[in-house]
Amino acid sequence: MPLDWIYGLVGGVLIGCAGAVLLLGNGRIMGASGLIFGIFKTTDRRIWIENLAFVSALFVVPMLFAGPLNIAPTDASENVIVLAIAG
């Protein structure tokens, strides 16, 4: 019996750790919508760089783990509109 649920657990732990690092290191709560909004609307360059780096890491770090963990490809739709609606 394959342990497919383990990948969701590992992903959740990675996102949880990222949120904990942001909270403990900066005192801010990881609200993805607030971070993304901050990328486009902030005038403080330091906050802009910090938000961009954090949001980028949310996408890059799981990709780095996918290779060593030998994670199989998913059957997700290639239709961008369907993916955007699904979240």
Per the domain annotation, does 2 fall within a domain?
no
Please indicate, yes or no, if residue 70 is contained in any of the structural domains: yes
Whether residue 5 is contained in a domain is answered as no
Q: How many domains does the chain have?
A: 1
Q: How confident is the model at residue 55 (pLDDT cuts 50, 70, 90)?
A: confident
Kindly tell me the burial class for residue 84, based on how many C-beta atoms sit within 10 Å of its own C-beta (0-12, 13-18, 19 or more): exposed
Compute the chain's Rg from CA coordinates: 15
pTM for this model (two decimals): 0.51
State residue 61's pLDDT score. Answer: 80
